[in-house]
């Protein structure tokens, strides 16, 4: 039975731990601390926990001011708000001056505890990927999340970290080493490549296992960093296999799929399918129903692999 | 220690730099730069603890020009103060210049925060003051706002949080020149009358928990005293509501919304410089 840990719990604990190690780390909250789990940091380091209330634009500006005087602010809100409501602020006082602000977008993707489309983010990767000077990270499990937070504190510059709400399987062992900008090959194979990010990697692994049972060997590349993009790893995956399926709990436009398509079109064109929301917002519902309706399940990923393999044969 | 007359002379030179620079590059935000000039002169030459030779000095007072489009006045004051050579004002708005069209903290020594998109500066000032408290530092942070800018909701988000955290090392200055770019044209009104429709800023700031000081924004002595009073206020942030005139110092620009951003002809430059003679 695989252990399941919510990324938000791993995130909250990692931040609190970081707070013990680094006195310059401060955390800003937009009245969501018990959802995003930065309340764990608040319990441990109340003096460095700055409640900013329901005012995300101001929160980003405050973080910029803190960074400008030498502190390391982690700003926490839901991904939907981080990527849209305060975007001009991120642009002008974080990205443009390259200030050392870490924006942590919780409740990303469509599995947000039945809150519905306003609280679900299907655009955050696209939005932050398009912004110069931003590093964009989407860890796949609790182990990776913990390392991402440590790496965030050691990296100097603007950063967006995409997090999720519900318990998900742990896929990395304690010997795993996350590195900003580096993809991780989780399966070797020759028939098709899967390139996935965030917790969608878990469903992508399931799809790989489904196909393995049918005698299809899938190469699986997990990209916890969407920006800067590990182009070499993407090209390697597609050179070996000749066709690719990208997989993300995000729109198919502008996110991981967009990034991979841009790279491959320039460096290694190949048949491709993108798994993600097909230019639609999501809705309220239980997780399994949403995954099915919005076609993010292992079954959908496997079907896409069969499509691209067929396309590959025809070329 | 500079006298009031000294500061007035510096402010006059700053105004001359502003009109000359706009004339040279072809267009610029004149009105709001001229209305801010006296306040900026007092801040940089009298009030703030700064060192132009050490623009990154950790314990320096901070200044944020939230109404970033008025940066010509800021650059001119900073050049006079010694942050960079006066000749460098001629490079304003050129490619690769250290003097960007709006304040850029990555380009210009001594600029404490980038700005330009209105409504953002007060928040960053709040962050600096909160950061100072956490770091055990006592520097003061000044933020200059425009009155049109206060139409942005983010300003009030910052105002609320600043009062909530009792940030008394934060002083805001409202350049209350009562004009913006295009303004609010009411049918029947004189077409030139485009005043920003906030006749009463003080009660709003007081309602948010701020101490307010009203003053003549072109009286050097009054500015000095108001800033000093602000330093003494404890337990709440302070805002100076500076009554100013957009385009102050050049008669044909004063109180005229069309001079928010405009080109200046040779004739107009000559007239302006003749008036800015003192």
CA distance, residue B145 to nearest chain A CA (Å): 15
Question: In CATH, what class is B4-275?
Answer: alpha beta
- Among A190-194, A271-275, B23-27, B168-172, name the one with the lowest average pLDDT: B23-27
Least CA distance to B161: which residue of chain A? A52
Per DSSP (E only), the strands in B56-201 are: 62-65, 141-146, 170-176
How many Cα atoms occupy the beta-carbon half-sphere of A136 within 13 Å?
28
Q: What is the pLDDT of residues B71-125, one digit of tens each?
A: 999 999 999 999 999 999 999 999 999 999 999 999 999 999 999 999 999 999 9
Please give the structure tokens belonging to residue A251: 């729109």
Q: What is the pLDDT of residues B124-144, one digit of tens each?
A: 999 999 999 999 999 999 999
Mean pLDDT of A41-62: 98
User: Rounded CA gap, A187 and A209, in Å?
Assistant: 10
Q: From chain B, pick out residues whose CB is under 8 angstroms from the CB of A92.
A: 114-117, 120
Statement: residue A26 has pLDDT above 80: yes
**Helices and strands in chain B, H and E counts:** 8, 5
Separation of CA B142 from chain center: 10
Interface test with A, best of B102, B122, B127 (most A CBs within 10 A): B127
pLDDT band at A219 (very low <50, low <70, confident <90, very high): very high
Contact present, A251 and A277 (Cβ < 8 Å): yes
DSSP class of B3: -
SS (H, E, C) A148-213: HHHHHHHCCCCEEEECCCCEEECCCCCCCCCCCCCCEEEECCCCEEEEECCCHHHHHHHHHHHHHH
User: Rounded CA gap, A140 and A198, in Å?
Assistant: 4
Q: Which of B114, B130, B153 sits opposite A93 (nearest CB)?
A: B114
Separation of CA A239 from chain center: 25
Mean pLDDT of A153-164: 98
Q: Which domains does chain A have, with CATH numbers?
A: 4-169 (3.40.50.970), 184-314 (3.40.50.920)
Statement: residue A1 has pLDDT above 60: no
Give kind and range of the element (H or E) at residue A50.
Answer: strand A49-51
Q: How much of chain B exceeds pLDDT 70, in percent?
A: 98
pLDDT the model gives residue B277:
83
pLDDT the model gives residue B199:
85
Statement: residue A231 has pLDDT above 70: yes
pLDDT the model gives residue B182:
87
pLDDT the model gives residue B257:
87
Statement: residue B258 has pLDDT above 90: no
Statement: residue A252 has pLDDT above 80: yes
pLDDT band at A104 (very low <50, low <70, confident <90, very high): very high
pLDDT the model gives residue A114:
87
Mean pLDDT of B233-245: 98
Q: Is B120 in contact with A89 (Cβ distance < 8 A)?
A: yes
User: Rounded CA gap, B177 and A168, in Å?
Assistant: 57
Of the candidates A200, A138, A212, the one whose C-alpha atom is nearest the C-alpha of residue A169 is A200
A214 is catalytic: no
pLDDT band at A165 (very low <50, low <70, confident <90, very high): very high
How many Cα atoms occupy the beta-carbon half-sphere of B170 within 13 Å?
34
Q: How much of chain A exceeds pLDDT 70, in percent?
A: 100
* Stated pTM of the model: 0.97
CA distances from B134 to A24, B138, B264 (A): 9, 10, 47
- Active-site residue, selected from the candidate residues A3, A17, A56, A174: A56
- DSSP-assigned beta bridge partners for residue A137: A161, A225
Separation of CA A218 from chain center: 22
pLDDT band at B194 (very low <50, low <70, confident <90, very high): confident
Statement: residue A56 has pLDDT above 80: yes
pLDDT the model gives residue A225:
98
């Amino acid at each position: 039975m695989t252990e399941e840990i919510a990324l938000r719990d791993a995130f909250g604990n990692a931040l609190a731990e970081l707070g013990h190690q680094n006195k310059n780390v401060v955390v800003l909250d937009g009245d969501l601390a018990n959802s995003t789990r930065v309340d764990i940091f608040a319990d441990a380091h109340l003096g460095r926990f700055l409640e900013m209330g329901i005012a995300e634009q101001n929160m980003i500006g405050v973080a910029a001011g803190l960074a400008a005087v030498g502190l390391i602010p982690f700003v926490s809100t839901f991904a939907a708000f981080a990527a849209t409501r305060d975007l001009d602020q991120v642009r002008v006082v974080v990205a443009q001056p390259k200030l050392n602000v870490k924006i942590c977008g919780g409740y990303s993707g469509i599995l947000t505890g039945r809150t519905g489309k306003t609280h679900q983010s299907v655009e955050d990767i696209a939005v932050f990927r398009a912004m110069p000077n931003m590093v964009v990270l989407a860890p796949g499990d609790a182990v990776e999340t913990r390392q991402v937070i440590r790496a965030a504190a050691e990296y100097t510059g603007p950063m967006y970290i995409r997090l999720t709400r519900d318990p998900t399987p742990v896929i990395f062992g304690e010997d795993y080493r996350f590195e900003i900008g580096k993809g991780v090959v989780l399966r070797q194979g020759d028939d098709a490549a899967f390139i996935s990010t965030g917790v969608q990697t878990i469903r992508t692994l399931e799809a790989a296992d489904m196909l393995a049972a049918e005698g299809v060997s899938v190469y699986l590349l997990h990209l916890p960093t969407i920006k800067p993009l590990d182009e070499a790893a993407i090209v390697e995956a597609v050179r070996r296999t000749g066709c690719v399926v990208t997989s993300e709990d995000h729109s198919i436009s502008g996110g991981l799929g967009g990034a991979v398509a841009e790279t491959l079109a320039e460096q290694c064109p190949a048949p491709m399918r993108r798994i993600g929301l097909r230019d639609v917002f999501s809705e309220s519902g239980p997780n399994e129903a949403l995954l099915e309706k919005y076609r993010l399940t292992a079954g959908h990923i496997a079907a896409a692999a069969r499509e691209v393999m067929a396309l590959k044969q025809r070329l | 220690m500079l006298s009031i007359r000294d500061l007035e002379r510096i402010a006059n030179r700053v105004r001359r730099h502003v009109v000359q620079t706009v004339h040279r590059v072809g267009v610029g935000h004149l009105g709001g730069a001229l209305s801010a000039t006296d306040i900026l002169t007092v801040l940089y030459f009298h009030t703030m603890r700064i060192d132009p030779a050490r623009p990154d000095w950790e314990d320096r007072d901070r200044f944020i020009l939230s109404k970033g489009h008025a940066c010509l006045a800021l650059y001119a004051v900073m050049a006079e103060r010694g942050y960079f050579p006066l000749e460098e004002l001629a490079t304003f708005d050129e490619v690769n210049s250290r003097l960007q069209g709006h304040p850029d903290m990555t380009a210009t020594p001594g600029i404490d925060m980038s700005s330009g998109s209105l409504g953002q500066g007060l928040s960053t000032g709040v962050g600096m003051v909160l950061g100072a408290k956490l770091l055990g530092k006592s520097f003061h942070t000044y933020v200059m706002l425009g009155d049109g800018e206060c139409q942005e909701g983010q300003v009030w988000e910052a105002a609320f949080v600043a009062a909530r955290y009792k940030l008394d090392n934060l002083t805001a200055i409202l350049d209350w020149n009562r004009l913006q770019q295009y303004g609010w044209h009411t049918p029947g009104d004189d077409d030139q009358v485009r005043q920003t429709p906030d006749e009463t800023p003080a009660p709003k700031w007081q309602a948010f928990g701020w101490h307010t000081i009203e003053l003549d924004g072109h009286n050097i002595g009054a500015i000095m005293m108001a800033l000093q009073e602000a330093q003494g206020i404890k337990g709440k942030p302070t805002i100076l509501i500076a009554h100013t005139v957009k385009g102050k110092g050049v008669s044909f620009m004063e109180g005229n919304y069309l001079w928010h951003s405009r080109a200046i002809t040779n004739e107009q430059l000559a007239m302006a410089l003749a008036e800015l003679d003192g």
